[in-house]
């Protein structure tokens, strides 16, 4: 996956307004190329679409792997922005666990169920046999990063007695499986659940999660 001929441990990344504009053009062109052509997208094509030389691309990104990682990070940052803000700002201190968890899951699904994110996920899944590191990049910048925040919030809710969780890392994965994975599965098949089914998957998933982890003396709503 790496392109050693273009790597340099002493590489100095260009700075300044002009360099920033070129970097943004490269990221836009690379995003379109990777989503259109998969990881086989050519660096020559990306440079031409960005209106820069291939040398300029490698000055900003030392390898194709580094460029792809930047694209994954950029797209997942936007996909996770809404749900991340809610987790960090509300969940751990929540006194309305069902309401706040539902709001977070709505934002989580909305961020991931976009054509851009689903297409990127398909690129990663389709390329991991040849380039296993792509799966690691996706896992680290997406699920692992978000699950770390969710685990911290769930642990706080457990400490406060709002939930009763015996295995917090497992609970975070279960929540993801209940509310997010159905949409990824639909996307992998080239379709998407309608708005009504989306809402039922989210609210039903949260209810199933809370049925397992609400303290036994907490009345169900």
Can you list the alpha helix ranges (DSSP code H) found in the chain?
17-37, 43-50, 54-60, 64-86, 97-112, 115-127, 132-139, 145-159, 168-179, 181-188, 195-213
Domain extent, residue 29, equals 13-62
Shared domain check, 58 and 81: no
The answer to whether position 218 is within a domain reads no
Mean per-residue pLDDT over the chain, rounded: 90
pTM over 0.85: no
Contacts of 14 (CB under 8 A, 6+ apart): 22, 23, 56, 59, 60
Residues 77 and 52 in one domain: no
pLDDT of residue 1: 46
Query: Domain for residue 5, yes or no?
Result: no
Q: What is the pLDDT of residues 115-151, one digit of tens each?
A: 899 899 999 998 998 899 999 999 999 999 999 999 9
Residue 96 lies in a domain: yes
Q: State whether 52 and 143 are in the same domain.
A: no
CATH of the domain at 34: 1.10.10.60
Question: Which of 1-15, 20-34, 39-53, 158-172 bottoms out in mean pLDDT, i.e. has the lowest?
Answer: 1-15
Token pair recorded at residue 15? 């700075």
Whether residues 198 and 104 fall in one domain: yes
| CB-CB contact of 126 with 40 (8 Å) | no
Confirm whether 220 is domain-assigned: no
Q: For position 122, which CATH number holds?
A: 1.10.357.10
55 occurs within a structural domain: yes
């Amino acid at each position: 996956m790496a392109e050693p001929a273009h790597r340099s441990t002493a590489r100095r990344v260009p700075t300044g307004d002009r360099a920033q504009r070129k970097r943004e053009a490269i990221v836009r062109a690379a995003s379109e190329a990777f989503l259109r052509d998969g990881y086989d997208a050519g660096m020559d094509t990306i440079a031409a679409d960005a209106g820069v030389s291939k040398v300029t691309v490698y000055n900003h990104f030392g390898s194709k792997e580094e460029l792809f990682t930047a694209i994954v990070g950029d797209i997942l940052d936007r996909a996770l922005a809404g749900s991340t803000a809610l987790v960090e700002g509300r969940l751990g201190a929540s006194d309305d666990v069902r309401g706040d968890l539902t709001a977070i899951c709505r934002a989580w699904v909305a961020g991931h169920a976009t054509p851009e994110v689903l297409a990127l996920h398909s690129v990663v899944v389709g390329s991991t046999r040849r380039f296993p590191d792509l799966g690691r990049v996706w896992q680290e910048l997406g699920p692992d990063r978000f699950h770390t925040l969710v685990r911290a919030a769930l642990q706080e809710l457990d400490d406060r007695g709002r939930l009763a969780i015996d295995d917090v890392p497992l609970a975070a994965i279960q929540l993801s499986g209940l509310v997010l994975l159905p949409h990824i599965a639909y996307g992998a098949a080239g379709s998407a659940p309608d708005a009504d089914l989306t809402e039922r998957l989210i609210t039903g998933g949260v209810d199933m999660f809370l049925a397992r982890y609400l303290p036994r003396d907490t009345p169900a709503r």
